[in-house]
Homo-oligomer: A and B are copies of this chain.
Amino acid sequence: MSSNPSAIRRPDPDRKQRIINAALDVIVEHGVQGTTHRRVAKAAGVPLGSMTYHFNGMDDLLHLAFTQVAHASSAAFVGRLAEAGNREEAIQALVDIIAGNIWSTPRTLLLSYELYAFAARKPALAAIMRDWMQASREALGCFFDPLTCRALDALVEGMGIHGSVDPAKLDRGQIEDIIRRLCTPHG
């Protein structure tokens, strides 16, 4: 049956982006391991043929999807920090970020893990991660010296991860305490 009446072609300019979003949903649910053309196609509500039409294989799709994750994460971090006008407000912004409402949602964290593992084998994505880190570092650089920026950046990363595993959450006061220690010049 090659003349299927349901196969009406409809213009759909956002199709490619919708597929990428669907791919991220599939990654969250099944892992990179379980992300197949067929599953993504079903999740996006597009025919299987659309996959090879819009993307140059699964790696291409994953690359685009993870790039988007990196940019979104970076934008969320930098955006929140940009609201700060001085060191004190920057510290509050960092508390917000670590406490979990801005950046370290379960979905974002999970996608980050998948991204790290994926990027470890794809130099192109490693480069994107470097850009992401550099953007974070520069945003912090408005308020802190370079070494402190690195420490804060690493702390955000580590506390985000551990916070998602550890059942005993830290409260804002404790997080602030720790951040202030890092910001205080040695001594």
CA distance A119 to B110 in the complex (A): 10
CB of A187 within 8 Å of the partner chain: yes
Check: A124 CB closer than 8 A to any chain B CB: no
Stretch at the interface among A6-14, A79-87, A153-161: A153-161
A155 contact from B118, B155, B177, B184, Cβ within 8 A: B155
Given B117, B158, B177, B187, which contacts A114 in the complex, CB threshold below 8 Å?
Answer: B117
In contact, A31 and B157 (Cβ under 8 angstroms): no
What size tier do the contact residues of chain A reach?
A: 35 or more
Q: How far is the CB of A91 from chain B (nearest CB, A)?
A: 13
Which residues of the partner chain B approach A182 to less than 8 Å between Cβ atoms?
178, 181-182
Check if A41 is an interface residue, CB within 8 A of chain B.
no
Is A133's beta carbon under 8 Å from chain B?
A: yes
Q: Does A55 contact B (CB under 8 A)?
A: no
CA distance A166 to B158 in the complex (A): 15
A75 within 8 A of partner (CB): no
Is A48 interfacial (CB 8 A cutoff)? no
With A33-B32, A154-B155, A154-B158 known to touch, is A147 a contact of B113 (CB < 8 Å)? no
B150 touches A162 (CB 8 A): yes
A1 CB–B CB distance under 8 Å: no
Binding site for B on A (CB under 8 A): 31-33, 106, 109-110, 113-114, 116-121, 126, 129-130, 133, 147, 150-151, 153-159, 161-162, 165-167, 170, 174, 177-178, 180-182, 184, 186-187
